[in-house]
Amino acid sequence: MKILVIGTGAREHALARALALDPATTAVVVAPGNPGTARLDKTENTPVDAEDPAAVAALAQRVRADLVVVGPEAPLVAGVADAVRATGIPVFGPDAAAARLEGSKAFAKEIMAAAAVPTAAARVCTTLAEVEAALAEFGAPHVVKDDGLAAGKGVVVTEDRDAALAHAASCLEHAAVVVEEYLDGPEVSLFCLADGSTVVPLAPAQDFKRLLDGDEGPNTGGMGAYSPLTWAPDGLTEEVVEQVALPAVRELARCGTPFVGLLYCGLALTSRGLRVVEFNARFGDPETQVVLARLQSSLATALHAAATGALAELPALQWSTDAAVTVVVASHGYPVSARKGDVISGVEEAEQLPGVHVLHAGTATDEAGALVTAGGRVLSVTGVGADIEAARAAAYAGVAAITIDGAQHRTDIAAGR
Ligand code: AMP
Ligand code: GLY
């Protein structure tokens, strides 16, 4: 099978790496890819405007892809999967209509209400007066969300009513605002493959969304992750499939917008039970880096089955008992800005360490051939070991081998888990 992967991040590097290691794959093309994907076996990078549906569809035909896997949300919301599907090539990723599950938080709330999926009570507001009323209704801590796509940075959770109002005011300049009740309790990310009707869960993972140790500082796209969750209640995965993923997939099918791709269930395990924090329409980053590090079954076969409506016949997925921990190394200034052009050294040394692999995200090769920073999240340093402690030690040994001026990382990813 020849597979075209769309995207540039560490998630796409993790996908391409797993596909390239998979005997079911003959070749992988990553578009546009990054300096890390360029170095994988069986893999080549090729340029494309990933948010141009016609360009991606033409590329899929030109490279004779047997399967297209769309990594990020923006191409999905732009209709890239629709355009590829129209060529007859199987595509892992929902049409634009179903990707609204991520693209519009208000739409996600409508689907959850119709499917009786447990989630935070919420109000969709279009004026500051409505926001004020909703803040008063739910009380502190306040949760204010941009209705549209914001790369994980559109949400403010704060005790400070003025800060909540200020965020709402800035969102209202371009979109509606969702104000919701605060959910306490640990968060879990559960990815489900979906083929429009059948759902196959992957292994649960946990993401660290805040920039700083101790879950302080602003929200980011994610600063680290680990899997498995040895502390998670028995039956959690089955509960999420039955109460969340299947009802949502059935409701989307009922609405005529079947969901084919990755249904990312972001969950809070609250004192009152399971609640959905958010849905995404694609693999999570950095959770994918740890989930795929533990997958033993053929990723290509599983994604192809989802893309062709054949998940009911897919043999049960097999998982390594090993643990995986990813630590994200981010550039100076992230998440507010991202300094570019800082030299990255030590990646090869890190990869020599036992159990360590390094996935690229915001990296580039400069004119002199040196690896330099080119984005906010730069590298996902992933450690695999017999348990979380061993995986964590490997990941941090990898981070210690890497030098980037001004770079940031959390020191407490998966600590004590
Ligand atoms: P979202 O983009 O909706 O996933 O939100 C990003 C992050 O904000 C989540 O992973 C949570 O850490 C936090 N968050 C979102 N909604 C809530 C909520 N209702 N209660 C508490 N924290 C939340
Ligand atoms: N790690 C959070 C996300 O991918 O949305």
Residues 287 and 336 in one domain: no
Q: Is residue 116 part of a domain?
A: no
- In order, the DSSP letters of 261-326 are EEEEEEEEEETTEEEEEEEESS--TTHHHHHHHHB-S-HHHHHHHHHTT-GGGSPPP-B-S-EEEE
Q: List the domain range (segments joined by +) for residue 235.
A: 184-313
Token match 């596909």: residue?
Answer: 19
User: Pick from 250, 281, 313: which residue ends a domain?
Assistant: 313
Q: Give the DSSP H/E element, type plus range, for residue 43.
A: strand 43-45
3-state secondary structure of 392: helix
Give whole-number Cα distances, 386 to 9, 352, 391, 392, 396, in Å. 27, 18, 7, 10, 15
Show the CA angle centred on residue 59, arms to residues 55 and 61, nearest 5°. 120
Strands 67-70 and 2-7: parallel
Confirm if 183 and 274 have CB atoms less than 8 A apart. no
CATH code for the domain of 28: 3.40.50.20
Q: Is residue 219 part of a domain?
A: yes
Rounded to the nearest 10 degrees, what angle do helices 105-115 and 246-254 cross at? 100
pLDDT, position 105: 85
Query: Residue with the nearest Cα to atom 15 of ligand 1?
Result: 277
Q: Is residue 118 part of a domain?
A: no
Query: Residue with the nearest Cα to atom 12 of ligand 1?
Result: 209
Confirm if 96 and 77 have CB atoms less than 8 A apart. yes
**Two tokens at 180?**
């919701």
pLDDT, position 150: 65
Pocket test for ligand 2, best of 73, 149, 206, 207 (most atoms within 8 A of CB): 207
Q: Is residue 367 part of a domain?
A: yes
Domain count, the chain: 4
Pocket test for ligand 2, best of 77, 191, 265, 280 (most atoms within 8 A of CB): 280
Residues 191 and 294 in one domain: yes
Ligand 1 lined by 276 (C-beta under 6 Å): no
Residues 300 and 196 in one domain: yes
The Cα 308–Cα 310 span in angstroms is 6
Cβ atoms within 10 Å of 408's Cβ, excluding its own: 20
Q: Is residue 22 part of a domain?
A: yes
Residues 249 and 236 in one domain: yes
344 DSSP β-pair partners: 404
Ligand (nearest to CA of 221):
2
Ligand 1 lined by 157 (C-beta under 6 Å): yes
Instruction: Give residues (CB < 6 A) around ligand 2.
Output: 152, 207, 222, 280, 284-285, 287
Total-model pTM: 0.95
Cβ atoms within 10 Å of 134's Cβ, excluding its own: 24
Backbone angles phi, psi at 344, to 5 degrees: -105, 120
The pLDDT > 90 percentage for the chain reads 95
The Cα 358–Cα 286 span in angstroms is 12
The alpha carbon torsion through 143, 147, 153, 156 (nearest 10 deg) reads -20
HSE-CB of 191 using CA atoms within 13 angstroms: 26
Residues 225 and 282 in one domain: yes
Query: Per-residue pLDDT averaged across 194-217, rounded?
Result: 97
The Cα 366–Cα 361 span in angstroms is 15
**Total residue length of the chain:** 417
Ligand (nearest to CA of 275):
1
Cis (ω within 30 of 0) for the bond into 335?
yes
* pLDDT tens digit sequence for 59-69: 999 999 999 99
**Two tokens at 106?**
């208000």
- Give one word for 333, left, alpha or beta, with left for phi > 0 and alpha for psi -120 to 50: left
Ligand (nearest to CA of 207):
2
Confirm if 63 and 2 have CB atoms less than 8 A apart. yes
The pLDDT > 70 percentage for the chain reads 99
CATH code for the domain of 304: 3.30.470.20
Residues 199 and 290 in one domain: yes
CATH code for the domain of 140: 3.30.1490.20
Q: Could you tell me the pLDDT band of residue 13, with boundaries at 50, 70 and 90? A: very high
Q: In one letter, which amino acid is 328? A: V
Q: Is residue 47 part of a domain?
A: yes
Q: Report whether pLDDT(2) > 90.
A: yes
* pLDDT tens digit sequence for 343-402: 999 999 999 999 999 999 999 999 999 999 999 999 999 999 999 999 999 999 999 999
CA of 287 to the centre of ligand 2 (A): 7
Residues 217 and 299 in one domain: yes
Query: Per-residue pLDDT averaged across 273-283, rounded?
Result: 97
Residues 192 and 176 in one domain: no
* pLDDT tens digit sequence for 38-64: 999 999 999 999 999 999 999 999 999
* pLDDT tens digit sequence for 81-116: 999 999 999 999 999 999 999 988 889 999 999 999
Confirm if 35 and 60 have CB atoms less than 8 A apart. no
| Summary mean pLDDT of the chain | 96
pLDDT, position 352: 98
User: Pick from 269, 290, 313: which residue ends a domain?
Assistant: 313
User: Pick from 292, 313, 334: which residue ends a domain?
Assistant: 313
Residues 10 and 48 in one domain: yes
pLDDT, position 33: 98
pLDDT, position 31: 98
Confirm if 329 and 360 have CB atoms less than 8 A apart. no
Residues 189 and 300 in one domain: yes
Pocket test for ligand 2, best of 283, 287, 326, 359 (most atoms within 8 A of CB): 287
pLDDT, position 372: 98
Q: Is residue 304 part of a domain?
A: yes
Residues 190 and 307 in one domain: yes
Ligand 1 lined by 187 (C-beta under 6 Å): yes
Residues 262 and 214 in one domain: yes
pLDDT, position 175: 83
Burial 338-366 (b: 16+ CB within 10 A, else e): bbbebebebbeebeebebbbbbbbbbbee
Q: Could you tell me the pLDDT band of residue 153, with boundaries at 50, 70 and 90? A: low
Q: Report whether pLDDT(12) > 90.
A: yes
Q: Is residue 318 part of a domain?
A: no
Ligand 1 lined by 277 (C-beta under 6 Å): yes
**Two tokens at 129?**
């007066």
